Structure 1
Amino acid sequence: MARQNDHIAVFAAGIARFSARRPLLVILTAVLLSALSLVVSVRHLGINTDNFDMISAETPFRQAAIEYRDAFPWHGDQLVVVIDAPTPEQAEIAAAGVMTHMRAQERLFSHVRAPAMDPFLRRNGLLHMEAEQLQDFLDRLAAAQGLLAVLAERPDLVGLLDMLDLALEQADPESVQAVQLTDLVATIAAMAEGDPDAPAMLSWRRQLAVEGQGGLDGRQIVIAKPVQDFATLSPARAAIEDLRAHFAGYPDAIGFRLTGDAALDTEELDSVKLGGAWAGALSASGILVLLFLGLRGVRDVLAAIAVLAAGLSLSLGFATLTVGQLNLLSVAFAVLFIGLAVDFSIHFTLRARESGRGVAAVRDAGRSVGASLVLSALAAAIGFLSFLPTPYRGLAELGVIAGGSMVIAVALNLTLLPALLTLGARPREAEPRPPAKPDRRTGRLARPVVALGAVLGLGGAILTPFSDFDFNPLLLKDPDSESVATFFELARDDDGGGYALEGLTAGPEAAARAAEALAERPGIGRVLHLGRVIPDNQPEKLAALQNAALFLFPVLTATPAPPPTDAERRQAVDDFDAAVSAAPDSEALNDAARRLAVALQAMDAAGLAAFETRVTGLLPHWLADIRTAFDAGPVTADDVPADFRQYWVTDDGRYRVQIFPADPIDSNSELRAFAESAQTVLPQATGTPAIVTAAGEAVLDSFRTATVVAAVLVTLLIGMVLRRPLDILLTLAPLLLAAVMTLGAAVLLGEALNFANVIVLPLLFGLGVASSIHLVLRRRRLEDPDRLMRSSTPRAVLFSSLTTLASFGGLALAPHLGMASMGRLLTIAIIAILFATLIFLPALIRVTGRSEMSQ
């Protein structure tokens, strides 16, 4: 046996014997240290749930994103409120109410805005129409100016019926105006009759819109930056809950949905917590059942659980002292700790039971299994720490915490566990075991099993290069959650707003040149910058507005009368009914008006008041829009107000350029192509497509680097300790086989690697090496393969692997797709490890046994 292995075994035996002889001292010390660790952790351990910090700030794409955030503090971690209403006016009124509320809650929100409702854009909205389209719209208003003047003075049911009276008297049945008016009256009549297909509220903007006019879809978007507390697991929860309470005060017809970084992160955390709670319950139940089946004793099970509890407490303290915070990945260290630390307890307890009970049995267990435990812990720690030299900061911090927890786990299993196993226990002799008889049938199967393992390994090695990496973390979120579904709906819109890119240029000329260059790139759609908000053909459009204002002067300057009384409404209905009765029967306009009159006569006072709200409630809002639009004047870059300019120009004069995809993005390849196309013109362009693509490359590079580092360091560790080439081969061969089998099976099953499940890699190193080391070192002592397979070691390997599977298996059922993929890949890995260590390795030991004995 190698000298290093002897030293480790003797040291482990000495520690275990000391702990067994002084159980009360060891237990009391562990309790005090655990309590102290918990106190320190509660007071000083921070939580950083900022996804932005998962990758090192030194990477180029993070530098570009940080530079952009510094230039525009309103950018990033935003809440996006998507408002859908039956009419555009209702959407705007709701958006205005939401903005007013958010601006009043300064402790929760900042930078509140509705881009489409910006006062600067609303005032100059008509100037952004095409000249021909604007003229059509103004002609329509001029033709209806007499009718509109009546409504401007009385925007209520009385004014509406007066307007219709006037129309019945003056309208030319052959005119376009009469046709349009007929459609309007028919719609109002259907509303009065209770037609289910009629609108609940009449949109005057839609009624008087011209073909191609925008802003008619009934959707508004409000954007704000919530004040987040990254020391909590849900930094934006207070802001989100405040908004949801505010939404409850609106009619059911108006829909509110939340998305944006802040909402996506909050709902992802909720999904993770829900899946974690479900998985935790399944895992705890599975671990308890397996511990009872494997250890077969209440004392032993309670001892293992106590070791786990103490280990978790001390690991939290270690995390506090070394890293100082938990991130979205490192919070998983507890599950990793349980999955591996319980393995150490199973191996030590079963080995001690194999030797009997009492101090002597614990000492023998320490000598026999101590070296295996130490090497397993070191190998697992190396696997976790392998991400330290990579830019994947999230996994690097997890590696430090989990790696340290492995040392804590093995220390507790050599101190606290022996103390608990011997406290109050009566010494008992080991049960005599009959000598093992050679199993010739197993011996005959050894070579076919090794050949099968070689074939599976070769197949896995061939398939491994075809492993896919899904670099888009958005695809790991729960697709049924509100924020995710809404994000992808916006991304599928014509302008692909969810996937817009942002860039900085030196000034207005540079922004214009960049926009021209981007327009020639494939996959690039709209490109916006401050220069694009300056309307073209202004003299022609302003002249048209001035001419129209002469005709619309009564509309633009009218002062609305007070709301009518019930008596005034009834009188207006009676007058309208009389006017309709006197009109000819053959005209479509008169027919629609007669239907309206009949329906109105059937209504009582409350019904008329409610109907008035439905047909004229949005009229004042539309008239106010018209008045605002006619205030437009010449616009230059110097006229842009500061409130609007801050979203397009930095304090030092750099200009923002916003880039939209030409078509909706439906795949990762399209996302990458769009980002790369834009970055050929603006290399520092940032935004979701650029960040997701570059972060994916950083994670994939980290994965490769960590794999090489872990493989080299674990090989060196095993080589330095075991020394014998055959033992090194027997230890590493199952690990390599399990690794390629896992990756090959993932390819066959369509299981892509992603941001979440790459954590299985270091776990695979820990589990694979641990299982192999236990069997290889036990083989050294027992020499005979039959005795090895009848000892407690294979049983310990089996149950330790199953407990790890129980720890993570429940994740496969989680609603969070990332957690589910982690659970599925780990299940594949555990199955591969069990085959490699309990079937392939014993067969390999038999095949190589004769050659070793001949040395």
Structure 2
Amino acid sequence: MSTETSLIGRFVAASARHPWAVLFLSLAVALAALLHTTRHFAMTTDTAELIATDLPWRQRELAFAAAFPQQRDLILAVVDGATPELADAGAARLAAALQARPALFRTVRRPDAGPFFEREGLLLLPLDEVRSTTEQLVRAQPFLGPLAADPSLRGVLTVLDTALEGVARGEAALADIEPALSALAAAVEDAAAGRPHFFSWRGLIAGGKPGLRETRRFLLVQPVLDYGALQPGAAATDAIRATALSLGLAPDRGVTLRLTGPVPLADEEFATLSENAGLVSGIMLLALVGILWLAVRSARVTAAILLATVLGLVVTAGLGLLATGRFNLISVAFIPLFVGLGIDFNIQFAVRVLAERQHGRSLPDALAAAGRGVGGGLALAAAAIAAGLFAFLPTSYIGVAELGAIAGIGMGVAFLLSVSLLPALLVLAHPGAGGMAELGYHGLAPVERLLQRRRAAVLALAAAAAAASLALLPFLRFDFDPLHLRSPSVESMSTLADLMADPDRTPNTISALAPSLEAAEALARRLDTLPEVSHTVTLGSFIPADQAEKLAYIEDAAMLLGPALEGVEPLPPPTDADLRHGLGRTAAGLRRAAGEAPDPAPAAARRLADALDRLAAAPAANRQAAQAMLAEPLGTLLAQTRALLAAGPVTRESLPTDLVADWVTADGRARVQAFPRGDANDEGNLRRFAEAVQAVAPDATGTPISIRGAGGSIVTAFIQAGVLSFLAVTLLLAAVLRRARDVALTMAPVLLSGLLTLATCTALDLPLNFANIIALPLLFGIGVAFNIYFVIAWRSGEAHLLQSSLTRAVVFSALTTATAFGALWLSSHPGTASMGRLLMISLGWELLVTLLVRPALLARPPSS
């Protein structure tokens, strides 16, 4: 390698002779790259684009998305009401407001409501529930009729007066209306005191507290996305929240709005990543500066290294964008990869320059000598790392393939700047020889002698560690569920976790397409027999069973309630004087009916009478609040009651068009949706569920299948790239080093460090995931670079490597990378934090292997 080394030495010397020309040329290239980046910047945040589309599971996923485009890129708005009436009214108002903004929202649908469900929804319930619901409405007929005629606080007081008259005549007992008395007493007490209260007529009629099925409503919103932004759905989600706020849909008014679904999940992940980005970036910068100074003990050299690294990063970004056309969520990781390896190249060169200076050389001579001494190692390291990174190009993991392309280009940039711009900057800065007597570690001489004497024992121990690591590898876990990488505290994730607790709302379902509705029903019946399947849903699920019996119950209720609810002209709203008069009259009637009896019903009557008196004495605004509190949910209840009493037979032809479109494609194919039995969040349970469904429906798709498919594709891509990287680097080393032994000495520590890293992950139960697996190219590159430096120095006849300036450069390079990027561990984003952990573990093993195993490997001279 003497020719190449001398060539690099001459190149460094030429750069040192013309420092201003090199600096201006570097700045011009960086400026051109910056202009290209700013003018042509493109960033895709679509995670679907990270994996190749020609994979079978991706083909099925894309085919399903094409068949049902209205179900892609959704925002799921979850509307929780303090009462069923508030949930229904709030969801309806929000949907109407969003539908009026087509520039932001392509579609806005209510999957659990709308005219069809309001009219026919009762028929979809089991027969027993239909019977009990209609019986409750019939029992409430004496109240609903008068309230329909006067849906106000006055009407409520009139109904109470009528009921009390019946009690006085002995036609009813006070205990019969005790639930209504207690509920109204609590409501009126809050109104009199000026406190908010959320009254539910449906809860009163049902005789119990409504469940989530009654108080939770959903909107499916398909927004217009801007994939050029880091948060493509930000404008849409902001508009939804602002619209809800303008409509008064807020917790203090009994309505809570939460957003989840693919779009908010992706957007809020970026928000989490940037949540403490300032802290993490600050720690990174301080670590870089601090450790660089400790490595060279010169502020000028530190500044030169940092400037060369920054300019190299700018140039790499421009060239990478030119090569790939855009950045993606993974390829942006070229930034830490370039910084880590770029600083390594610069530290190697700078430390060697300072070492040469300590031997009395002038700065120009020291620069040329450093070029001759470490230039060949830097060139070979850059070429080997680039070859390893380019090995990702043919894999199906497009995200990492583009990362490999950009970072591989970056290795060339980093090397060129380390032997051109950095020497020029050092000439312009004209640093001294550093602030220390020696740049090596002479105190490690006894350790090095011990490792060389005990060479066989050290290598045997290393071999045993490698064997033990290999034995642990089958137990290494791969967790490729993207939800596990997200912060559980953000709204989209906490809402999703809430929904996933409901087996009927879990997103972990599987869908399959059948040629026709008849075939879909047949497939559903087969899937329903599987023990892994809880139940299935098809379009036929919306055609109720037992319709004749259910309609008979509804028709009976309609005969009794219809005349009182239909065609009624409500009275005009009461005046405040009307309300005060009615409050006093009803309070007196309640006290007469209650007397002095201590039973619960009389006590409830007296409590309500006291509350009515306080409301009568309160300001008029309090009475208006009480009026709204009772009248608004009453209006919702009456409208819903009129709708459900109009239910009629449901057929395939009578189903709404938008509902049919969710289950049948334009060409007649029909969808079957299967739900898992058992824990819908358990990885093993979902794997068995997916395997069982695919055994019956091989073309099925859905989250459990996509997660497994993505995980398998990524593992395969890394195995392919790992093999290709190993072969490419080995062949490159063989071509340059030309001795099999030297190639083995270079690659063996890399493999040992990698095995120890993966074994540690297994022992500590730290699974590989979508995020931390991206760190593997960086770790591979650092390991290859470190070992090339030592083997090249060893081949050049350098002795006592553990005590040399090379070891100092390697140690501080590793510390710089470990400390800087270990700061990722502080991130509140779980995926980023896992990357920081893996980096720290791997770099720790890199250092140990370098300091303990490497001296034993190189104990014999290269000629032996």
Range into which the TM-score falls when normalised by the shorter chain: over 0.9
1:352-373 Cα deviation digits (max 9, x unpaired): 2222343322222111111111
Aligned equivalents of 1:171, 1:700: Cα separation in 2? 76
Q: Which range is displaced more, 423-432 or 385-394?
A: 423-432
Q: 2:557 aligned with 1:548, yes or no?
A: yes
Aligned to 1:826: 839
Aligned equivalents of 1:380, 1:824: Cα separation in 2? 22
Aligned equivalents of 1:426, 1:160: Cα separation in 2? 90
8 Å Cα contact 1:158/1:572 also seen in 2: yes
Aligned to 1:679: 694
1:157-190 Cα deviation digits (max 9, x unpaired): 1111111121222359999997553211122123
Aligned to 1:620: 635
Q: 2:650 aligned with 1:635, yes or no?
A: yes
Q: 1:293 to 1:582 in 2, by over 3 A?
A: closer
Aligned to 2:197: 200
Q: 2:468 aligned with 1:467, yes or no?
A: no
Aligned to 1:389: 394
Aligned to 2:17: 21
Q: 1:213 to 1:677 in 2, by over 3 A?
A: farther
8 Å Cα contact 2:301/2:429 also seen in 1: no
Deviation, 1:805, is 1.0
Partner residue of 1:561 out of 558, 571, 576: 571
Letter in 1 for 2:249: Y
Aligned to 1:843: 856
1:317-375 Cα deviation digits (max 9, x unpaired): 11121101110111111111001000000111111222234332222211111111111
Q: 1:471 to 1:282 in 2, by over 3 A?
A: same
Q: 2:349 aligned with 1:348, yes or no?
A: yes
Partner residue of 1:157 out of 145, 153, 158: 153
1:454-494 Cα deviation digits (max 9, x unpaired): 33223222222321111211101112211112112111113
Aligned to 2:114: 118
Letter in 2 for 1:296: R
8 Å Cα contact 1:172/1:178 also seen in 2: no
Q: Unaligned regions of 5+ residues in structure 2, if any?
A: none
Aligned to 1:804: 817
Q: 1:713 to 1:600 in 2, by over 3 A?
A: same
Deviation, 1:691, is 1.2
8 Å Cα contact 2:440/2:808 also seen in 1: no
Aligned to 2:234: 237
8 Å Cα contact 1:576/1:597 also seen in 2: yes
Q: 2:583 aligned with 1:573, yes or no?
A: yes
Aligned equivalents of 1:173, 1:79: Cα separation in 2? 57
Q: 1:506 to 1:214 in 2, by over 3 A?
A: farther
Aligned to 2:141: 145
Aligned to 1:508: 517
Q: Which range is displaced more, 60-69 or 34-43?
A: 60-69
Alignment of 1:244-259 (within 5 A): 244-248=241-245, 249-251=248-250, 252=252, 253-259=254-260
Q: 1:146 to 1:372 in 2, by over 3 A?
A: same
Q: Secondary structure at the match of 2:70?
A: coil
Letter in 1 for 2:64: Y
Aligned to 2:125: 129
Aligned equivalents of 1:213, 1:84: Cα separation in 2? 12
Letter in 2 for 1:814: S
Aligned to 1:754: 769
Deviation, 1:836, is 1.2
Aligned equivalents of 2:369, 2:816: Cα separation in 1? 25
Alignment of 1:142-541 (within 5 A): 142-170=138-166, 181-194=177-190, 200-209=197-206, 217-248=214-245, 249-251=248-250, 252=252, 253-356=254-357, 357-423=362-428, 425=430, 439=445, 442-446=448-452, 447=454, 448-541=457-550
Q: Secondary structure at the match of 1:397?
A: helix
Aligned equivalents of 2:174, 2:700: Cα separation in 1? 53
Q: Secondary structure at the match of 2:225?
A: coil
Deviation, 1:284, is 0.9
Q: Secondary structure at the match of 2:206?
A: coil
Deviation, 1:781, is 2.3
Q: Which range is displaced more, 827-836 or 217-226?
A: 217-226
Letter in 1 for 2:336: V
Aligned equivalents of 1:762, 1:647: Cα separation in 2? 43
Q: Which range is displaced more, 425-434 or 695-704?
A: 425-434
Deviation, 1:667, is 2.2
1:474-531 Cα deviation digits (max 9, x unpaired): 1011122111121121111132422222222211101111111111112212311111
Q: Secondary structure at the match of 2:578?
A: helix
Q: Tell me the TM-score normalized by structure 2.
A: 0.93
Aligned equivalents of 1:213, 1:435: Cα separation in 2? 74
Deviation, 1:212, is 12
Q: 1:375 to 1:697 in 2, by over 3 A?
A: same
Letter in 2 for 1:666: N
Letter in 1 for 2:229: T
Deviation, 1:285, is 0.6
Aligned to 2:751: 736
Q: 1:699 to 1:178 in 2, by over 3 A?
A: farther
8 Å Cα contact 1:50/1:230 also seen in 2: yes
Q: Which range is displaced more, 183-192 or 584-593?
A: 584-593
Aligned to 1:595: 607
8 Å Cα contact 1:350/1:792 also seen in 2: yes
Q: 1:139 to 1:414 in 2, by over 3 A?
A: same
Q: Secondary structure at the match of 1:328?
A: coil
Give % identity: 37
Aligned equivalents of 1:444, 1:544: Cα separation in 2? 93
1:582-619 Cα deviation digits (max 9, x unpaired): 43645865553332122201222333332233333301
8 Å Cα contact 1:87/1:216 also seen in 2: no
Q: 1:103 to 1:494 in 2, by over 3 A?
A: same
Aligned equivalents of 2:850, 2:352: Cα separation in 1? 18
Aligned equivalents of 1:595, 1:438: Cα separation in 2? 88
Q: Secondary structure at the match of 1:557?
A: coil
8 Å Cα contact 1:496/1:660 also seen in 2: no
Partner residue of 2:729 out of 714, 721, 725: 714
Q: Secondary structure at the match of 2:43?
A: strand
Aligned equivalents of 1:803, 1:397: Cα separation in 2? 26
Q: 1:233 to 1:144 in 2, by over 3 A?
A: closer
Aligned equivalents of 2:697, 2:45: Cα separation in 1? 30
8 Å Cα contact 1:13/1:366 also seen in 2: yes
8 Å Cα contact 2:388/2:781 also seen in 1: yes
Q: 2:796 aligned with 1:790, yes or no?
A: no
Aligned equivalents of 1:211, 1:296: Cα separation in 2? 75
Q: Unaligned regions of 5+ residues in structure 1, if any?
A: none
8 Å Cα contact 2:385/2:781 also seen in 1: yes
Q: 1:436 to 1:54 in 2, by over 3 A?
A: closer
Letter in 1 for 2:590: V
Q: Tell me the TM-score normalized by structure 1.
A: 0.94
8 Å Cα contact 1:315/1:404 also seen in 2: yes
Deviation, 1:802, is 1.0
Aligned equivalents of 1:579, 1:236: Cα separation in 2? 58
Letter in 2 for 1:601: D
Q: Secondary structure at the match of 2:459?
A: helix
Q: 1:144 to 1:800 in 2, by over 3 A?
A: closer
Deviation, 1:193, is 3.5
1:175-228 Cα deviation digits (max 9, x unpaired): 9997553211122123334499x9922211122237999875411121211211
Q: 1:432 to 1:608 in 2, by over 3 A?
A: closer
Letter in 2 for 1:571: H
Q: Secondary structure at the match of 1:270?
A: helix
Q: Secondary structure at the match of 1:634?
A: coil
